[in-house]
Amino acid sequence: MHKSVSGFSKLSKSEKIDWIVTHYLSGSEASKKTLLQYLNSDKKLQQLHDEFIENTISNYYLPLGIAPNFKINDTMYAIPMAIEESSVVAAASKAAKFWMSRGGFKAEVLSTTKIGQVHFMFHGDTAVLESFFNIVKPKLLEATKDITKNMDARGGGILDIVLKDKTEAINGYYQLHGTFETLDAMGANFINSCLEQFSKTFKAEAQLHLESPIEIVMSILSNYVPDCIVRAEVSCPIEELADKNIEDPEMFAKKFLQAVSIAEAEPYRAVTHNKGIMNGIDAVVLATGNDFRAIEAGVHAYAARNGQYASLTHAKIENGIFTFWTELPLALGTVGGLTGLHPLVKVALDILGKPSAKELMQIVAVAGLAQNFAALKSLTTTGIQEGHMKMHLMNILNQFEATDKEKATIVDHFKTHTVTHSAVVQAITAIRQ
């Protein structure tokens, strides 16, 4: 059986499905049925999804949930979240409701600059390169005018280009380090187009005016955006933290701060702590058609910016006021890319009131902060397993294809019993016998 293929991309979708089923799924009709079942019967909608990527054979669904009751800068939001993990939407909703009656979330965009670099090699005199760069810089900007015209008209564009000497890191290595304002666009295409034009012009000018050649290695934006920062915060007097799971708010605040300090000091905990923050962030980023891999890479790099991976959230108690906050780099867009293409993304952005990129940065940072608040509140009080396992119960029941009647009986049973995977399996087996 040949497991390799040439010209796979040229096959029709049904030929691709047949090929994968024959060669990697032992001809399984059931697998083929599943692949086909997830295709949309609306041909136009399916074609749209087919064309997002290459070699599409089916659709991979994630649930789209809503976390309501988010009060952010005194405006109410219901936040769409695309995520497969149970408990995340519930936790976000709980944190939203908790803070709604305690002043809500405050969020503020602190900066919006993005970065892109042309990486190149040069083995001549650095001083000569520097003066050449200063002469050629206006030409680099001039040569990108067609690309930047629309962005310039809206008030964005190229902010600056500097020459960076990186020869201490790698012999002969320099950069053209560009800074950009891309307004409501995430800006990857814009930045990369500008950079590729910089490199063409730079190389052409160098060939005319420099004795030693420059060799362009690559031109690409950076997903590390430490100058594209949003801050989100909640605060209230300690005594107002009281609720049904927080009988002693002083004690709660103290333990909460300890939990945050541990994540600030201890990388093993920081990774899990930040993973919880990313549960909220990625879900909104995905629902709004943004690139969650870019966000993940940039956020985690930022979490390690001081040389040790650490918490993205912080907490303090001052004059009896509990304050919990985060500052995060988030390069997000609300125009361009998938935002105008994916029908569900359009709906998600409509639910959020068609936010600007800055507003979306605030909403996403708040979702992350809320998620972390919910996680730390559970962890430092009841523990997370109680809530988790209740949600997990439904997933296990679905795995066992429990009928509605079986579900009702088992959910009732677990009102007074601890949910564990084996206990649920036992309960299903018992009622089926």
Residue 375 as a binder of ligand MEV (CB under 6 A): the answer is yes
Our answer to whether residue 421 is catalytic in this structure is no
Residue 384 interacts with ligand MEV (CB under 6 A)?
yes
113-127 burial code (b ≥16 CB/10 A, e <16) = bbbbbbbbbbeeeee
State the number of binding residues for ligand MEV (CB under 6 A).
Answer: 9
**Shortest Å, Cβ 334 to ligand MEV:** 27
Task: Note whether 409 and 431 are within 8 A (CB).
Answer: yes
Closest separation in Å from C-beta 275 to ligand MEV: 6
- Which one from 255, 388, 407, 413 is the annotated catalytic residue? 388
Judge contact between 125 and 202, C-beta under 8 A.
no
Closest approach, Cβ 267 to ligand MEV, in A, equals 14
Rule CB under 6 A: say whether 368 interacts with ligand MEV. no
User: Smaller CB distance to ligand MEV: residue 180 or 373?
Assistant: 373
Helix, strand or coil for residue 154? coil
**Based on CB atoms, which residue is closest to ligand MEV, 225 or 295?**
295
Question: Does the active-site annotation cover 275?
Answer: yes
Decide if residue 315 touches ligand MEV (CB under 6 A).
no
| DSSP track, 177-207 | EEEEE-TTB--HHHHHHHHHHHHHHHHHHHH
Per CB under 6 A, 114 contacts ligand MEV: no
Q: Which is nearer to ligand MEV, 88 or 225 (CB)?
A: 88
- 56 closest CA partner among 25, 5, 12: 12
Quote helix, strand, coil % in the chain, to nearest 5.
50, 20, 30
Residue whose CB is less far from ligand MEV, 336 or 387:
387
Stretch that binds ligand MEV, among 33-41, 173-181, 272-280, 313-321 (CB under 6 A): 272-280
CB of 282 to ligand MEV, least distance (A): 11
Which lies closer to ligand MEV via its Cβ, residue 273 or residue 358? 273
* Contact set for ligand MEV, span 75-104 (CB under 6 A): 85
Site stretch for ligand MEV (CB under 6 A), options 93-101, 159-167, 233-241, 267-275: 267-275
User: Of 99 and 180, which has the nearer Cβ to ligand MEV?
Assistant: 99
Nearer to ligand MEV, 290 or 378 (CB): 378
Other residues' Cβ atoms within 10 Å of the Cβ of residue 132: 20
- The catalytically annotated residue of 49, 275, 300, 413 is 275
Q: Known catalytic residue: 184?
A: no
| Helix residue spans in 188-291 (DSSP H) | 188-209, 249-265, 267-287
Supply 192's token pair.
Answer: 């990369």
279 scored as a contact of ligand MEV (CB under 6 A): yes
Which one of 97, 166, 275, 390 is in contact with ligand MEV (CB under 6 A)?
Answer: 275
- Contact between 243 and 100 under an 8 Å Cβ cutoff? The reply is no
Contact between 280 and ligand MEV per CB under 6 A:
no
In 101-162, where does DSSP find H-type helix?
126-143, 145-153
Beta bridge partners of residue 185, listed in sequence order:
335
Residue type, 253: A
| 80 Cβ contact partners less than 8 Å away, ≥ 6 residues apart | 64, 65, 66, 284, 287, 288, 347, 348, 351, 352
Q: Where do runs of H (alpha helix) occur along 210-354?
A: 249-265, 267-287, 292-303, 343-351
Provide, rounded to whole angstroms, the least separation between the CB of residue 326 and ligand MEV: 13
Identity of the residue numbered 327: E
Instruction: Please select the residue that binds ligand MEV; options are 101, 111, 272, 426, rule is CB under 6 A.
Output: 272
Is 85 labeled as catalytic in the residue annotation? Answer: yes
Active-site residue list: 85, 275, 291, 388
Applying CB under 6 A, the residues found at the interface with ligand MEV are 85, 272-273, 275-276, 279, 375, 379, 384
